[in-house]
Amino acid sequence: MALNKVEICGVNTSKLPVLSSAKMKELFVIYQAGDRSAREKLIHGNLRLVLSVIQRFTNRGEYVDDLFQVGCIGLMKAIDNFDLSQNVKFSTYAVPMIIGEIRRYLRDNNPIRVSRSLRDIAYKALQVRDQLVCECSREPTVAEIASKLSLPREDVIFALDAIQEPISLFEPIYHDGGDPIFVMDQIGDDKQTDNGWVEGLAVREALRRLSEREKLILSLRFFNGKTQMEVADEIGISQAQVSRLEKAAMQHMRKYV
């Protein structure tokens, strides 16, 4: 996502105004008295705030124009709900609102479907996290977030994990000018070992030495997950016969594995 664009959604970002604290307060007073034009000035005067926030989401692969528009929705909500009587800077109040709106957008557009209850817990946890950051000026622990929500710590962790955006195994994580290192290069696979490969060959060789009926019984039992009774009904013999043939086939295979 390129953030060095001069124009985003038709807005020339190089010419955005910066409002002083006094001018902000004046515009809020006018807007809350009913002047809608003051709202437009507040929005235009705080678009740089949206630009600064969307830089946190540069690794999501989303179009900067889409994130900017969603961030502007969060900004407008912050402007409409800001309380002048509270001794809080507007940016302190608006940033969590903008972040929350963007996170909601990313969550709802996640390719992996997550249940509504999990998403609600995760969204509330993110809101509480932003509130605690403002209050404590540090990153809160999961236990602190869970305490605020009156939920078990494990539920909060599970919900937050559920809304994480998946990444490709072929996502490059390092590149020094030569061949890149991908995510899959950093993941171990205990199953795909030399011993496992040799054992697999031995199993296939042992299966080749079984009779057709023995192969069919083992295939139905261990590859199709059928019970001995189901296998007996399918091939037309008794369950006791299936049991004897299965045991004999397993003993035969053990000679080769």
Half-sphere exposure of 40 (CA within 13 A, CB side): 3
Is 223 in a helix, a strand, or coil? helix
Query: Residue 77 is encoded by which pair of tokens?
Result: 């909500």
Q: Using an 8 Å Cβ cutoff, are 155 and 122 in contact?
A: no
Q: Which residue has the tokens 């969204």?
A: 123
Tens digit of pLDDT for each residue in 163-179?
776 666 666 666 666 66
Residue entry with tokens 């059928």: 226
Domains of the chain are 1-91 (no CATH), 110-185 (1.10.10.10), 194-254 (1.10.10.10)
SS3 254: helix
pLDDT tens-digit map of 22-37: 898 899 999 998 888 9
Q: Which of 12-16, 175-179, 199-203 has the lowest mean pLDDT?
A: 175-179
pTM above 0.85, yes or no: no
